[in-house]
A and B are shown apart, each in its own frame.
Chain A
Amino acid sequence: MAVTGKLLGASLAVAVAALLPSHPRAQDIKIGGIFDLTGVTADVGKPFQQGVIDAVAFVNENGGVNGKKIALVGVDYGYKIDQARAAYKRLVNDEKVVLIQGWGTGDTEALKEFVTQDKIPYFSGSFAAPLSDPAKFPYNFFVAPTYSDQLRAWLAWVKKDWGSKPGTAKVAFMFGDNAYGRAPIAAGKAYAKEIGVDVVDEEVLPPNFQDATSQLLTMKQKAVDYAYINVTTSGVRLVLGDAKKLGLGIKFGSNPYGFSEILVAVAGPLAEGVTGVMPDVPYGDPVPAMKNVEAMHQRFRPSEKGDTMYVRGFSYVLVWSEALKRADKAGQLNGPGIKAAAETLRDFSTGGLTQPVSYTSTDHRPTTTTAIYQIKGGKLVKVAEYTLPRKPDWLGL
């Protein structure tokens, strides 16, 4: 009991220390961060968080927000909705943040009503299409084409890759049984029908699956030519490995959280030829802003390898810090002010890290241009780019 007591005492002491508010200077702009560092998407959540933290440091060192510094209050929510909600309440009501950098699809959608009610601009790592419809999610933003547009672009690539071979390309969708996994499936099926690609199979990958053989066997039976794997990197690796074991010749593609340098690192030769959607350039791509990204990465994380998730985190901060600057200039450094300022962005350049970003008060799709990359010789090589029409009836779908 004495030991337990001491332990309790220690944790209480830490907690008491925590209750004393941190003292940022009055000038600081408080931004909340809800990250996944320990949950099921931690494989990609961690580099993203590092990118955000380092980019905040970058912005602060380069003039800040019109001289004001950004203070990031980050929380790890372990990809659990109730923890995200608790973190959100604390960030908004107690820490009084003016903007939140969020993460997953499920939690972002779950927080919708609170976000709308509290008028807190919420930048999610999720690109689910409904979040881009201000009629339903007025305060939600993200920096990428929607998941749906990404899948549409990939299907367009499939169509092109199939070329003039006889028949139509047979496509399967493999996705996780969660909001993120299922997000683009309906849109993908509709678009495939439109352009003449056959979706012959849908396979669900359960959470923390260790084995995708039965799913792949079904796909083999249906003679699938192409498959889009809509889970994070670890899952993609597993599917690729099992496909190899079964000797399948399916051409795989993946989404921005499954396809990155991390996939090359973990899948090695298995990843060869896999295509993927990339809303951000790979780490080290010679675009103008990359030198800043590399400089920060080398300074803070010299022993680690950079990847596109880091670039993504970085680009998010560049976008919302611009909104903060504009809101600050207008003297409206509050939720509605930042939202309005963000909606004035027109083809805002992140220095090449992403496509130029635009938001309007009726359309939060930042871009409809999607780049398709392929892994060739262990490198991410851009093979195509599609700009989809900004159809009003695709807004939110």
Chain B
Amino acid sequence: MTEEWVLQCSGKATPRDPAVRIPAIGLTIDPAWRDSDELRAVLSGLEEEQVPALCSVGNGDALALAADAAAASVVSVGVALGADGRVALHHARLPAATPLQLIDVAAGLAACRVLGTNAARLVKGIPLHT
């Protein structure tokens, strides 16, 4: 897995072209989660909803990583799996301390996938999974 790649809406992972700012969710993962089932669960939530994501590896806790990813995202939505073992969903227009969703990976793979689904639905403007 490279340091930066794009999950296309067709489900394919491709290298990122830094010259293009694609409208995609920002997804940052702490290296600890690089090849985890939790990451695959979040990604499958995004893929089922057919929304692209710009994925990168970075160090930090979920909340801060997600806030940064959201700030950098063209669609203002960021998701992160942090070193603190948590998964966060953030929006650039929310205060940094109040993410839309913040869960512990212990909540399970299904919860991770729902978080991915909700990130995509936030971009699409359809009601979130409850």
Q: Do A and B come from one complex?
A: no
Interface residues of B (CB under 8 A from A): none
